[in-house]
A and B are shown apart, each in its own frame.
Chain A
Amino acid sequence: MIEVLVDWLLVASIFAPLALLDQCFSKSLRPQALALQWLAPAPALAAGLLGLGAGPVNLDFPALRLSLRLDQPGALLLTVAALLWMVVGAGVFRSEQPSSRVGVAWLLTMIGSLGVFVAADLISFYLVYALVSIPAYGLIAWEGLPNSKRAAGVYMAFAIAGEALLLLAFALLAAGEPQGSLRIVDVMAALPASPWRDLALALLIAGFGMKMGLAPLNGWMPLTYRAAPIPAAAVLSGAGVKAGVIGLIRFLPLGAALENWGLALAAIGFFSAFYGVAIGLTQKNPKTVLAYSSISQMGVIAAALGMALMAGDSGASSSVAFYAANHMLVKAALFLTIGAFAANRAAPLWRLPLAGALALSLAGLPFSGGALAKLASKTQFASGWAAALASASSVATALLMLHFLSRLRRATARAENATPAGLVRVWPALAVGALVIPWALYPAVGDLSDAFGLAKLWDGVWPLLIAAALAYVLYDLQDRLPRIHEGDSVVAYEKAFDKSLALGGAFEGIDARLRQWPAAGLSLVLIALVLAAATALGR
């Protein structure tokens, strides 16, 4: 009985927002459809909750060449993502009416974001992945702020480049599957033995890493989160980036113990984890600091997956998904925190401590959802050097979050921090929710009783103490930190891009010469001769 319900809800989770999209084509129905879209993720939320307890659900539609699958990592992320879209969407679409451009972009991104957790064949995954990446342009360029054009352009460049890498990777995956099936489970089963395994893995890590913001492909994230309005930044950093996470979870052959690839991925992950913190500490704008925190946290996730790949641990996907789900909630709530702080200067006393608890939960503050997330990833970071690096990254995250809190107090009511009034009002509830909801979800990945105990408590506290000490030192050194442009490596990419534009002039010169009649006529004769030779050689 439950299975049938889950099946229907799974299908509805995609088709409910699609039905709304259909309505957008008619001018009269459009405002109503866009206003209601905050309700559209409800079936997805229900499907995710039910799917947490049930085993993996597979739905195949051979006629449409579509497969859907709800397994535990997908269910975890789907639940939290749907919740996020509903809450932030309600805030945006009930209190103010953004233009239909933004509304349609929001709806398309939502469809992609929800679909990415349930798509189970290569083509539909590529489709929803494109939907979660490309229409987000409308969300970034929402306000039309001066730096939003550059941010949106950089974002699109990275998104399209990632799509190209993934397309080749998917073609390689499909080629390695002997029966010609395009279902992800079949393709992944064939991957370890495929002759193109290494190239495919490299492309997959690069493509999904671009989405997750792993260094050195992270430059777009700070620019984007700075330029996008708060609600857009909340959903993009929350649900949008996790498309990369589910991509890695789905497309890494975790069961096969690939030592070298696991090590490489873990190295990239840890590098990003510390790189994000290091650059983030030099930034002044709180949104940029949060962006670098995302980069760092995605690095931790990548490292966890790398360790799992090394060990051949396929059960890691659930714990990593839990970590990502917790990050989704906390990061979105943190962005809304910026909005709340910027919106009213007069603050109740408990506002800063609540924000502090929320921020430090990312570093594993005891009794917060983040502590549970840390607990869930313990198995991946069990061995010596990995455990040490993981602890160090906790300290680093805590440090960065303290820096964020110090910048938060100076958040002003600029256009880039504009938040719908509804969200500002309910912010306290959202913050508490972000701290508490992971507790409700943890039973799906582990035993709640593990979370209590003095040893665990101390595990959570000592990184914070060290971080507090470091923060005190850093605060004095504020002005002597180097000024790094937000988007760090993007500046280098932009310079290289500008240089390549000069090539275009060379192409134009060649074209001008080739379009002269004698050159073209001669080319025709030459082509005929070359083809004659080629045909003759064909023997």
Chain B
Amino acid sequence: MMGATTPGGFLLVLAILLPVGGVLLSFVLGGRFAERVALAVTPLGLALALAIAAGVAHSGQPLVYAVGGHPPPLGIALRADGISAVMLVAAALIFAASGFYARAKFSTPPGVAESRAPLTFWIMLQAIWAALTIVFVSGDLFNLYVALELLTFAAVPLVCIDGRPETLAAALRYLLFALFGSICYLLGAALFFGAYGTLDIALLAQRVHPLPAVWAAAALMTAGLLAKTALFPLHLWLPPAHANAPAAASAVLSGLVVKGSFFLLLRLWFYVLPGLPAPAVGAVLGTLGSAAILFGSVLALRQARLKLLIAYSTIAQIGYLFLIFPLASGAHSWSADGWSGGVMQILAHAFAKAAMFLAAGLLAESLGHDQIAKLTGAARKMPLTFLTLGLGGLSLMGLPPSGGFAAKWLMLRASVASGQWLWALVILAGGLLAAGYVYRILAPALGDGAVALKAPPQRGREAVALSLALVAVALGFAPNSFFDFIEIGRPIVMGTP
């Protein structure tokens, strides 16, 4: 039966309960213990994510767990398939890196029992992790709504954690626009429920027909999720929020939080609605994605601050993600390439962007500013930091060997094979523009010049940022079995109804 619990399904519950338990424990114990609990949760979370991935790989089927023993349509099913597993592992790694990176900045000061910013940071970090875990494994659209809201509520305080007015305004803008998006999502979910009486993803996929209610629901949910993913032209909240947040928070926000709502879009269009052929939707989303790539990259070229440049680069790279819709829908010979390319882009961008934000944070702390114009000669004083920026930039540009190149290559093959030339040109143009803004950061830094360091960056934190960048590069060597793994659980459409 569809929603029956499979062996190993309890791992999914554990994966959710772990960070939730961490949040509660941190809140109750408070003070320094919050940091210790968060750092203790990190390796356990990674172990659980790897166990789930092993379970999915071993059985070749998604892991399922019916909460409370009630299968859908009455209960909620948790379902972990190929892409859930890789996203869980990626999230665990990035959270680990951000956690260890942030210890220097968000430790409770000595002599004080409890301090506002550190306590908030560690609690919110675990809350984001919990929310993302639910997003990746839940199989019910309303459950996903709650997870999405939790994600937003946990991310907003991280944006304004230092209390400056501009960060408060950015956080408020983020919150209100995200709420706008999620209420649209909820209305769409209501329409789905009205039409079919269930919100379980697998059941809906079986029952979906082309009805006006379904069209409206799909459109509303998609538009709401686009607002939360900051796809152009709905990107108004992202640059100030990500650029003014602390570096560890920006890494998680850019690397994972925006991917959470994008993951829901994949669930909606590839798991709930694959039986509803809609090539025009692929064209619309692809066009918006292309506009995001071009606008984001051009605007990144014109930024004066490094963190704003990286934030606009996020807007551009999110555009690449939306090319998955025209390239991977249907059961064509190229769809597998499109899907693999899209998923690889999610992972490569997550690691590369997190690494770049962490490196930018180190730079800002050591130099006291993050003005690009004043970076001349900085690479000599901070070689590891700039190596991280360089490797992250390599992935963003899409040069081999890197995950970004693998993603671009697969998407190019898909667009050539399907005859959709526009996306091929956009992908290449995006690569050229990305090369432009990476060059803008690196060329002056590699040149001759002297910068005064306030304090040299700590080796441990540099190593953490560099390790994330190395993962982004290592993704370029992903074996074919990886691409088979992420196909596990994806419904393949057998022709059009």
Do A and B come together as binding partners?
yes
Report the count of interface residues on B (CB-CB < 8 A): 61
Give the docked Cα–Cα distance between A503 and B297 (Å).
Answer: 13
Q: How far is the CB of A407 from chain B (nearest CB, A)?
A: 30
CB distance from B83 to the nearest CB of A (A): 23
Chain A 500-535 residues near chain B, CB threshold 8 A: 503-505, 507-508, 510-511, 514-517, 519-521, 523-525, 527-535
Q: Which residues of A contact B223 (CB under 8 A)?
A: 524-525, 527-528, 531
- Would A101 and B284 count as touching, CB distance under 8 A? no
Is B220 a contact partner of A528 (Cβ separation < 8 A)? yes
Mark A149-162 against chain B: 1 for CB-CB distance below 8 A, else 0: 10011001000110
The answer to whether A161 and B222 have CB atoms under 8 Å apart is: no
Interface residue from A134, A524, A537 paired with B226 (Cβ < 8 Å): A524
Complex contact A524–B212 (CB within 8 A)? no
Are the CB atoms of B412 and A514 closer together than 8 Å? no
* Chain B interface main SS type: helix
A175 near B295 (CB under 8 angstroms)?
no
Residue from the list A137, A163, A531 in contact with B281, Cβ < 8 A: A531
Closest Cβ–Cβ distance, residue B415 to chain A (whole Å): 8
How long is the Cα–Cα vector from A175 to B277 in the complex, in angstroms?
A: 25
Residues of B within 8 A of A123 (CB): 400, 409
B424 touches A171 (CB 8 A): yes
Q: Cβ of B409 and Cβ of A171 under 8 Å apart?
A: yes
Question: Are A126 and B447 neighbours in the complex by a CB distance under 8 Å?
Answer: no
Q: In the complex, what distance in Å separates the CA atom of A152 from the CA atom of B283?
A: 39
A504 and B428 in contact, given A144-B448, A175-B413, A539-B210 (Cβ under 8 angstroms): no
Q: Given A127-B400, A127-B401, A511-B299: A537 and B180 within 8 A (CB)?
A: no
Residues in B with CB closer than 8 Å to A523 are 233-234
Give complex CA distance A164, B432 in Å: 7
- Cβ contact within 8 Å between A531 and B218: yes
Chain B residue at minimal CB-CB distance from A507? B298
Is there an interface contact between B432 and A507, defined as CB atoms closer than 8 Å?
A: no
A362: chain B residues at CB < 8 Å are: none
* Beta-carbon contact of B278 and A538 below 8 Å: yes
Residues of A within 8 A of B283 (CB): 534
Q: Which of A101, A127, A175, A525 has the most CB of B within 10 A?
A: A175
Interface string of B473-484 (1 = CB under 8 A from A): 000010100000
Contact of A273 with B by CB under 8 A: no
Cβ B216 vs Cβ A507 within 8 A: no
Give every chain A residue within 8 A of B451 (Cβ-Cβ). Answer: none
B219:A528 contact, CB within 8 angstroms? yes
Is A534 a contact of B284 with CB atoms below 8 Å?
yes
Closest B residue to A513 by CB, please name it: B233
B448: chain A residues within 8 A (beta carbon): 144
Is the pair A535, B281 in contact by a Cβ cutoff of 8 Å?
A: yes
Judge if B342 is at the interface, Cβ distance under 8 Å: no
Query: Within 8 Å CB of A505, what residues of B?
Result: 302
Task: Decide yes or no: A536 and B215 within 8 Å by CB, A504-B301, A530-B284 being known contacts.
Answer: yes
Chain B nearest CB from A195 CB (Å) reads 10
Complex: A534 Cα to B286 Cα, angstroms:
13
Give the complex CA separation of A126 and B280 in angstroms.
Answer: 34
- Contacting B at CB under 8 A, from A459-518, are 503-505, 507-508, 510-511, 514-517
List residues of chain A with CB within 8 A of the CB of B443: 137, 149, 152-153, 156
Determine if A168 and B281 form an interchain contact, defined as CB atoms under 8 angstroms apart.
Answer: no
A175 touches B180 (CB 8 A): no
Contact of B62 with A by CB under 8 A: no
Considering the chains assembled together, what is the distance between the CA atoms of A511 and B240 in angstroms? Answer: 13
Contact indicator per residue, chain B 275-301, by CB within 8 Å of chain A (1) or not (0): 011111101100010000001001101
Task: Say yes or no for B416: interface residue by CB 8 A criterion.
Answer: yes
Q: Are A538 and B227 in contact (CB under 8 A)?
A: no
Question: Are A538 and B277 in contact (CB-based, < 8 A)?
Answer: yes
Whole-angstrom distance between the Cβ of A506 and the nearest chain B Cβ: 9
Residue A8 is within 8 A (CB to CB) of chain B in the complex: no
- CA gap between A471 and B64 in the complex, in Å: 84
Contact partners of B417 in chain A: CB under 8 A: 175
CA distance A536 to B216 in the complex (A): 9
In angstroms, Cα B309 to Cα A274, docked, is 45
B298 touches A504 (CB 8 A): yes
Cα separation A67 to B398 with both chains bound (whole Å): 22
A521 cross-chain contacts in B, Cβ below 8 A: 180
Kindly report which residue of chain A lies nearest to residue B223, judged by CB atoms.
A528
Chain B residues numbered 384-405 whose CB sits less than 8 Å from any CB in chain A: 397-401
- 22 A-B pairs with CB atoms under 8 Å apart are A134-B399, A141-B446, A152-B443, A156-B435, A164-B431, A167-B398, A168-B412, A171-B424, A175-B413, A175-B417, A517-B236, A524-B181, A527-B288, A531-B219, A533-B280, A535-B215, A535-B218, A535-B219, A535-B276, A535-B280, A536-B210, A539-B210
B residues bordering A, Cβ < 8 Å? Answer: 173, 177, 180-181, 184, 210, 212, 214-216, 218-220, 222-224, 226-227, 232-236, 276-281, 283-284, 288, 295, 298-299, 301-302, 380, 397-401, 408-409, 412-413, 416-417, 424, 428, 431-432, 435, 439, 443, 446-448, 477, 479
Q: Which of A's residues lie within 8 Å of B, judged by CB?
A: 63-64, 101, 123, 126-127, 130, 134, 137-138, 141, 144, 149, 152-153, 156, 160-161, 163-164, 167-168, 171-172, 174-175, 196, 503-505, 507-508, 510-511, 514-517, 519-521, 523-525, 527-539
- 4 A-B pairs with the lowest CB-CB distances in the bound complex, closest first: A538-B278, A532-B219, A528-B223, A534-B280
